[in-house]
Amino acid sequence: MNIVLVTGTRPQLIKTALLDRRLRQEHDMTMVHTGQHYDNYMSSNFFKELDIPQPDINLGIKAEMSHQQLGKTIEALGNYLNSLFHKPDLVIIIGNTSTALAGALAASKLHMPIAHVEAGTRCGDRSVPEEVNRILVDHLSDLLFCSSNESMGNLINKEGLSHGVYFTGDVLYDTYLHYSQQVGPKLCDVFVTIHREANVDNADNLFAIGKAINSLKGKVVFPVHPRTEKMSHISITLSNNIVTTPPISYLDTIAYIKGAKLVITDSGGIQREAYFAKVPCIYIGTAGNPELVACGATIQVLADTDEILDTARTFSNPQFPESLLGYGNAVENIVGIIREWES
Q: Which residue has the higher pLDDT, 9 or 106?
A: 106
Are 268 and 196 within 8 A, CB to CB?
A: no
CA atoms of 40 and 38, how far apart (whole Å):
7
Residue 233 has pLDDT above 70, yes or no: no
Residue 40 has pLDDT above 60, yes or no: no
CA atoms of 220 and 211, how far apart (whole Å):
13
- 151-160: pLDDT as tens digits: 999 999 999 9
How many Cα atoms are found within 13 Å in the side-chain-facing hemisphere of 45?
A: 12
Sheet holding 143-146, edge to edge: 57-58, 28-33, 2-7, 90-94, 114-119, 143-146, 165-167
98-109 vs 129-140: helix crossing angle, rounded to 10: 30
Residue 91 has pLDDT above 90, yes or no: yes
Residue 238 has pLDDT above 90, yes or no: no
| Residue 181 burial class via C-beta count within 10 angstroms: exposed 0-12, middle 13-18, buried 19 and up | exposed
- Per-residue pLDDT, averaged over 208-232, amounts to 87
| pLDDT at residue 5 in the model | 97
| pLDDT at residue 43 in the model | 54
242-245/90-94 β-pairing: unpaired
28-33/114-119 β-pairing: unpaired
> Which CATH number among 3.40.50.2000, 3.40.50.1360, 1.10.10.410, 2.60.120.260 corresponds to the domain 2-170+326-342?
3.40.50.2000
Of these residues, 37, 116, 195, 225, which one is catalytic? 195
| pLDDT at residue 39 in the model | 55
The CATH architecture that domain 179-314 belongs to is 3-Layer(aba) Sandwich (3.40)
- Per-residue pLDDT, averaged over 222-227, amounts to 86
Count the helices and strands in the chain (H runs, E runs).
15, 13
| pLDDT at residue 24 in the model | 95
Predicted confidence band at 54 (pLDDT cuts at 50, 70, 90)? Answer: confident
Residue 27 known to be catalytic: no
Strand stretches in 59-212, DSSP E: 90-94, 114-119, 143-146, 165-167, 188-193
**CA 32 to chain CA mean position, Å:** 18
- Give the global pTM: 0.94
| pLDDT at residue 239 in the model | 87
Residue 95 has pLDDT above 60, yes or no: yes
Are 279 and 269 within 8 A, CB to CB?
A: no
| pLDDT at residue 138 in the model | 98
Predicted confidence band at 230 (pLDDT cuts at 50, 70, 90)? Answer: low
What are the φ and ψ backbone dihedral angles of 298, each rounded to 5 degrees? -130, 145
Are 330 and 169 within 8 A, CB to CB?
A: yes
- 170-181: pLDDT as tens digits: 999 999 999 999
| Residue 153 burial class via C-beta count within 10 angstroms: exposed 0-12, middle 13-18, buried 19 and up | middle
The mean pLDDT value of the chain amounts to 92
Residue 134 has pLDDT above 80, yes or no: yes
User: Where are the domain boundaries for CATH 3.40.50.2000 in the chain?
Assistant: 2-170+326-342, 179-314
| pLDDT at residue 64 in the model | 60
Predicted confidence band at 68 (pLDDT cuts at 50, 70, 90)? Answer: confident
Residue 236 has pLDDT above 90, yes or no: no
